[in-house]
Chain A
């Protein structure tokens, strides 16, 4: 299994809602990442988990809350988002945290905040 899966594919939420994005990989990778990508822009790193511990938080607002329950699963909990948070949210994984930079990306969750 060489896939990173993400659910849901699309999500529409209001500014008062609470929702979660889910990411899963079964490649035995020990590093997992969340990226935010706006249209026609490169991905922006949000969080890095290494061996289930948060190792990098790129000054992301607290309305985004990551969670890594085990080595295969990564969640992103969303609360009180703003319309400008609408974007494609990409999950990625790598064997270890960024040693040679190779990351395997999921297809993303397209988030729209109304």
Chain B
């Protein structure tokens, strides 16, 4: 079975500053990894995903994430955040059959003007 840990439940950051949201997973098998964003009062939107290949994955809205197999991490980064990035961010992991899919507990990103 897999599990996902998002250690930071809340991350405040000033506008135009860089941000990193941390995600660690545990699994005994190869996995797919995802970051989803949920804006207030909305559903979830896929930011990016790692399936295979290059460990640096670029997503929408200027976000990117790096898969680190040795550290079992998939941290999300953005070099310069905007007010509109204020949202809840969920990391998720899936086994390669897709039968097991788990969300992390979420990180609330607040961008301060």
Indicate, yes or no, whether A interacts with B: yes
Across the A-B interface, how many residue pairs have beta carbons closer than 8 Å? 56
Chain B residue numbers with a CB within 8 Å of A98 are 94, 98-99, 101
Query: Are A107 and B105 within 8 A (Cβ)?
Result: no
Query: How near does chain B come to A63, taking the closest CB pair, in angstroms?
Result: 23
Interface size range of chain B in the complex:
20 to 34
Q: Does A106 contact B46, Cβ atoms closer than 8 Å? A: no
A contacts with B, residue count (CB < 8 A): 22
Residues A41 and B105 in contact, CB atoms below 8 Å apart? yes
**Distance of A98 from chain B, by nearest CB (Å):** 3
List of B residues within 8 angstroms of A41 by Cβ: 105-106
Chain A 81-106 interface mask (CB, 8 Å, partner B; 1/0): 00000000010100001111111111
Q: How far is the CB of A29 from chain B (nearest CB, A)?
A: 14
Which residues of A have CB within 8 Å of B103?
42-43
A36 to chain B, nearest CB (A): 12
A4 at the interface (CB under 8 A from B): yes
Decide if A105 touches B44 in the complex (CB within 8 Å). Answer: yes
Write the residues of chain A forming the contact surface with B, with a CB cutoff of 8 angstroms: 4, 6, 40-43, 45, 90, 92, 97-108, 110
17 contacts between A and B (CB under 8 A): A6-B43, A40-B88, A40-B108, A42-B103, A42-B104, A92-B44, A98-B94, A100-B51, A100-B98, A101-B34, A101-B92, A104-B46, A105-B36, A105-B44, A105-B45, A107-B41, A108-B42
